[in-house]
Amino acid sequence: MVSPLHLIIAEAGLELVPREIEGEPSIIAYAKRRRKKPSEILLDISVHYKAMKKLDKWFKRGRPDIVHVAMLLALSSLLNLANLLRLYVHTVKDIVIFVDPKTRIPRNYNRFVGLMEQLLVIGSVPPSSSKPLLWVESLTLHQLIEKIKCTTPILMHEKGALLKPSDFSKYVVEKMLKSEVVCIVVGGFQHGDFEESTLKLFKNRVSLHPTSLEAWSVISMIINSIESSEDISRIIWGNL
């Protein structure tokens, strides 16, 4: 039996406004316009840049748009439609969003922001559902990998072993066909590197291009190359 690919968007810049800047004028004004409490709105560097500069590692935070594009891309893929993909979002605050493969993320960014705010405040979407499409747990990346029971953890890193997407997908598909649990981790932040605690988790680090790429480009290359492999392609088209 073929195991699904487990894709983790890690250290993602997706979080509610931290307590230490809730009282900043720009935060209060924005929250009033949204008719929400400051603690119930997403941190967004395009809106809260000045206030964010008071935060630790602010340059890695406040980018929910990265998660939005990545989730749209992954969940609309043929790999996901064939039930061969599991998606997780691990945030910079060690909150993990679990995603049901049937989830359809809003294409409109403002609606996505509202959905994420509801999720992070309440804990699940739909609220109080016995089978939510999205739900959160407080987990470190290490704890998430252990929870998934990952046998082949791979970190996508610009300083990793340089492989062609076709060669990388061949390696991954071979593992999937052997029912191994493959976890591919892609950074969900805009600048800087993974935390040292994250880097220590991975001996297997891979790069798909000599230069640094956007998270969604890496995810697209991974998914497309896996979908194009003969064995996975046969499964996908057999399921459609």
Query: In angstroms, how far is CA 18 from the centroid of its own chain?
Result: 20
Q: Any binding-site annotation on 6?
A: no
Q: Please provide residue 184's backbone torsions phi and psi, each rounded to the nearest 5 degrees.
A: -105, 125
SS3 79: helix
Q: Any binding-site annotation on 238?
A: no
Q: Any binding-site annotation on 153?
A: no
Q: Any binding-site annotation on 211?
A: yes
Q: Please provide residue 80's backbone torsions phi and psi, each rounded to the nearest 5 degrees.
A: -70, -40
Q: Any binding-site annotation on 192?
A: yes
Per the structure block, which two tokens stand in for 210? Answer: 């000599």
C-alpha triplet 16, 22, 24: angle, nearest 5°: 130
Q: Any binding-site annotation on 209?
A: yes
Continuous H helices in 76-164: 78-81, 109-122, 141-148
Report CA-CA distances (Å) from 26 to 33, 45, 52, 171. Answer: 11, 12, 10, 48
Q: Which residues are annotated as a binding site for S-adenosyl-L-methionine?
A: 187, 192, 208-213
Q: Which residues are annotated as a binding site?
A: 187, 192, 208-213
